[in-house]
Structure formats: C-alpha cells, structure tokens
Amino acid sequence: MIKVSQLHKDYGVSKNPIHVLRDVDLEIGIGERVGIVGSSGAGKTTLMNILGGLDRPTSGKVEVDGRNLFSMAPAEMDSFRNREMGFVFQFNQLLPEFSALENVMMPALIARLSGPEARSRATDLLAEVGLSHRLEHKPGQLSGGEQQRVAIARALVMQPRFLLADEPTGNLDSGTSDAIYHLFQRLHATRDLTIIIVTHNDQLASRLDRVVKMEDGCIVGV
C-alpha cells in the first residue's frame, strides 16, 4: 500500500509561501489503477512527483509498504526509485541521439545490469508494446504514439511495481490516446502493476478503478 499522511508542499519564501499541497491524505492499494484529476495548478503533478520520490514534501510522509520514503538515505532512495518506480511523462524525454532500444536499456545500464541482460529486457519490452520492428529507430523517426510506447517500455525495464504517468496522452490524438490506454490496461493485467495516472482526459480517468479529484492543493473527492 501507498499511504500519504498530512502531506504539505510549499514553494517560495517562508514569509509568503505558495501552498501547492495542503493536508493531503490518501491511500492507494497495491494493484489499483488510480487517476488523479483536477484543473491546472491543482497540485496533481506535485503529488505524483512526491509519491515517486522525485520531490520532497515540506511536511508529512509517504509510506510504501510501511516504509517512509523520506526517511531513506539518499542512496537507498535512488535505488528504490530506480527499481520500484517507473515514470512516464507527457513529454517523453527520450534521448534523441539514441535508438529506441538504447533508450529503453538506459535505466538498466544505470542500475549496472549487464549489457546482454539490459538488451534482452529492452528487446522483450519493445516487442510487448508492439515496436519490435522499430528497435533501431531514433525518436525523431517515430510517431508521437510510438515515442510514448518507447517511454512506457523504458519505465518498465527495471520491472517496477509502480507505474506513475503524468499526462501520458496529453500530446496524442484521441485514437492514439485510446491505444495507449489499452496498453496500460494490458500491462496492468500481465504485470500486476499499481498504476497512478495524472490526466485531464476524463475518458481515460473514467476507465480506471478510482479517481482522485484535486482542487487548490487539496483532495476534494476520492
């Protein structure tokens, strides 16, 4: 379980802080598919970044299976994030000079898996997302939907338990967005993933197990 307790996040100077998250409590069960929705500036992305250990709260805590993420030593946090969390972003952040295969291999190589193991995992994942014929293509040679599939494969190469996606269909047309949703659905079923998706796409959110609505840094509906 992911358990968020009394989470606050402020930016700016202490005399006049900007309250991005305020008194957030949330529990997400292992294996759930959860959407986080709300208007721009509601705090959705900040919450997701804290859940994944990419950002730190001003106060409060995030526990995963009873472990407080922010009591971990930096090296332990880095290892946890690399091995337990997979991230997909609206702008896929693929490295343009590398092929699809090399992009997917990158987190595994950073984690010091052997080259053959990293290549084997990446090759299998690209086949799983329907891109076995695009292994050597660079991002600029791929469509937007194909690029996002590469990003999803990269997020899964370390076999994480949690997949966190921030507006994964935000730059895609409706047909491609629907295909990405079905890919998430299949990956959830085959890999027993816990999936958390920040989205403005109401249709996508409605297909998930649960929707968390945010407004002005607070959760206003679960």
Query: For 9-72, what is the HEC assignment?
Result: EEECCCCCCEEEEEEEEEEECCCCEEEEECCCCCCHHHHHHHHCCCCCCCEEEEEECCEEHHHC
- Predicted TM-score (pTM) of this structure: 0.90
Chain position carrying tokens 């952040």:
93
Q: Which residues, including other chains, have CB under 8 Å from residue 3's CB and lie 6 or more apart? A: 26, 27, 62, 63, 64
Report whether 195 contacts 184 (CB < 8 A): yes
In order along its 222 residues, the chain shows pLDDT tens digits of: 899 999 999 988 777 888 899 999 999 999 999 999 988 889 999 999 999 999 999 999 999 988 899 999 999 998 888 889 999 987 888 999 999 999 999 999 998 999 999 999 999 999 999 999 999 999 999 999 999 999 999 999 999 999 999 988 887 888 888 888 889 899 898 888 999 999 887 778 888 999 999 999 999 987
Q: Look at the chain and count its residues.
A: 222
What are the Cα distances from residue 89, in Å, to 41, 93, 142, 162, 197?
17, 7, 17, 14, 10
d(CA 44, CA 197): 10
Report whether 19 contacts 77 (CB < 8 A): no
Any idea what the CATH number is for the domain that residue 126 is in? Answer: 3.40.50.300
The tokens describing 61, both together, are 């805590």
Q: What is the pLDDT of residue 11?
A: 87
Domain coverage including residue 130: 2-221
d(CA 104, CA 113): 13
Number of domains in the chain: 1
